[in-house]
Amino acid sequence: MTALKPILNHIDNIPSNAGKFKPEKSSVYYIHHRLRFQTSSPKSLLWWIVFLSLILMLFFLSPTSTTAPLRRFRTTTSPSSALSKWKTEIELSAKPRSRRGHTVLVTGAVGFVGAHASVALKRRGDGVVGLDNFNRYYDVALKNSRKSELLDRAGVFVVKGDINDDVLLRELFGLVHFTHVLHLAAQAGVRYAMVNPNSYIKSNIDGFVNLLEVVKSTIAPPAIVWASSSSVYGLNSKVPFSEKDRTDQPASLYAATKKAGEAIAHAYNHIHGLSITGLRFFTVYGPWGRPDMAYFFFTKDILNRKQISIFEGANHGTVARDFTYIDDVVKGCLSAIDSAKKSVGRNGRKKKGEAQFRIINLGNTSPVSVHKLVMTLEKLLKVKAKKKVVLMPRNGDVPLTHADISLARMELGYKPTVDLEMGLKKFVQWYLEYYDARKKSSW
């Protein structure tokens, strides 16, 4: 029945001729009456059948749900038993091992950082529920592998759904009392904004607001820790980048949505008393990483003897990144969760005092040039790269990132320990094993 709702609403919104339908009648009457009216000739009846079949086909073939949770259960068992199994799995996954443990909703859970963070939380005894729409921005098989090989094994249940689906979010928050939300779901990557700008607005702005709306109206809103980005520093040239620096010169739409996210977070903190910590990640890399990032596709291309483009800035300026190893970033996320104060809102209203609001860099604070990155990969892969040096195009990238991590050190006790050489070694080892196993399994 819930499945039919959007279709019926749509039908109900078809403008009618004045005076044909009486407004005081119930909507059921309208639908029935309108269908009867529209289907009065055999030709229009045929059109209606074709139209409804098309809608139903689209509905049943759609990969993710955007309406009610019941749509998730196209199983051989009855929908109600599938629903109760789904609820039981969520409740089990959400249960911390001890009474002092947290209960965390991790959005973007099958993503690179989300999978690692979920497993780390679960392993130390927190309750974790993952949420992810498994979108196709990059290889979905990699997301499925993170789920089966990391999350399933650790006992983290992942709900397949979108942060824009408020029915689903309300259902989850009704089912579980989350103490924290680690919000990592986003449209990542700076260059893809040239291809699909709306995906950034949909996930990074609409989706974030939708999540905050649901969180703020719970009885005891959880504290939120979310991923902003070093890209908010945009075209700044003063280094290292400090949280006190200006962030009003974004070089990409991605950066602009993260900057907007910080402003939106502040408004919800101020009005609704939500405790919010924004973490500005600096080029996170490591095993199970993201195929759209340079270290990942350079590895693939070097192994395939394909030419790679190395960017340089104006006047042959060096392009460098503050590469930060995944385990260091995960430690920073966990410390941010542990040090987050409670939200002071309740049912959408601020109750007492000011809620905590923090923005903190999570970087490595030792930028490495792209040339050095390639040299390290060549050494680890034992293959000489075919390089072409090109001027960095103006499509989102910035010449340099470099984090000042003194605030992270003070607030979170954050201390990155993995340098690029050691981190890339672990990445390459994983890459070779993972893709070797995938090649074998496809034979």
Ligand X SMILES: NC(=O)c1ccc[n+]([C@@H]2O[C@H](COP(=O)([O-])OP(=O)(O)OC[C@H]3O[C@@H](n4cnc5c(N)ncnc54)[C@H](O)[C@@H]3O)[C@@H](O)[C@H]2O)c1
Cβ contact 298:377 at 8 Å: yes
CB of 161 to ligand X, least distance (A): 7
User: For residues 11 and 360, which CB has a smaller minimum distance to ligand X in the complex?
Assistant: 360
Among 180, 185, 186, smallest CA distance to 215 is for 180
Number of residues that bind ligand X (CB under 6 A): 28
Q: Among 32-40, 183-191, 235-243, 389-397, which window interacts with ligand X (CB under 6 A)? A: 183-191
Element (H, E) at 369: strand 368-369
Task: Say whether 254 is catalytic.
Answer: yes
Closest to ligand X by CB, 143 or 272: 143
Report the C-alpha gap between 389 and 397 in whole angstroms.
Answer: 15
Residue with tokens 């941010």: 336
352-358: long-range contacts (C-beta < 8 A, 24 or more apart)?
354/273, 355/269, 355/273, 355/274, 355/275, 355/276, 356/223, 356/269, 356/275, 356/276, 356/277, 357/265, 357/266, 357/269, 357/270, 357/275, 357/276, 357/277, 358/276, 358/277, 358/278, 358/411
Choices 132-140, 215-223, 339-347, 391-399; region in contact with ligand X by CB under 6 A = 132-140
**Of 233, 254, 268, 285, which residue is the catalytic one?**
254
- Answer whether 240's CB lies under 8 Å from 406's CB: no
Write out the binding residues for ligand X, residues 137-166 only, by CB under 6 A: 143, 162-164
Show the site string, 204-243: x = touches ligand X by CB under 6 A, - = not.
---x-------------------x-x--------------
When asked if residue 133 is in the footprint of ligand X (CB under 6 A), the reply is yes
Contact string (CB under 6 A) for ligand X, positions 96-125, x = contact: -----------xx-xxxxx-----------
- Region of 4 on the Ramachandran plot (φ > 0 left; ψ -120 to 50 alpha; else beta): alpha
Residue 181 in 3-state DSSP? Answer: strand
Question: What does the chain come to in residues?
Answer: 443
- Residue found under tokens 């103006």: 394
Show the DSSP H helices in 340-385 as ranges.
370-381
Q: Which is nearer to ligand X, 11 or 227 (CB)?
A: 227
Q: How far is the CB of 163 from ligand X (least distance, A)?
A: 4
Instruction: Supply the minimum distance, in Å, between the C-beta of residue 292 and ligand X.
Output: 8
- With CB under 6 A as the contact rule, the residue among 159, 186, 193, 424 that binds ligand X is 186
- Cβ proximity to ligand X, 262 vs 350, nearer residue: 262
Q: Which residue's CB comes closest to ligand X?
A: 111
Residue 281 or 431: the one with the smaller Cβ distance to ligand X is: 281
Q: Provide CB contacts within 8 A for 379, sequence distance 6+.
A: none
Number of alpha carbons in the 13 Å side-chain half-sphere of residue 425: 5
> CB of 110 within 8 A of CB of 119?
no
By beta-carbon proximity to ligand X, the closer residue of 203 and 247 is: 203
Q: In this chain, which stretch among 37-45, 69-77, 282-290, 373-381 interacts with ligand X, using CB under 6 A?
A: 282-290
Q: Quote the least distance from Cβ 133 to ligand X, whole Å.
A: 4
Q: Which is nearer to ligand X, 228 or 273 (CB)?
A: 228
- Pick the stretch among 12-20, 264-272, 281-289, 414-422 that binds ligand X (CB under 6 A): 281-289
> Measured between alpha carbons, how far is residue 125 from residues 107, 277, 324, 330 in Å?
19, 22, 25, 15
Tell me the three state secondary structure of residue 358. Answer: strand
Q: Is 265 in the site for ligand X (CB under 6 A)?
A: no
Binding site for ligand X (CB under 6 A): 107-108, 110-114, 132-135, 143, 162-164, 184-188, 203, 207, 227, 229, 281, 283-284, 290
Could you list the active site residues?
254
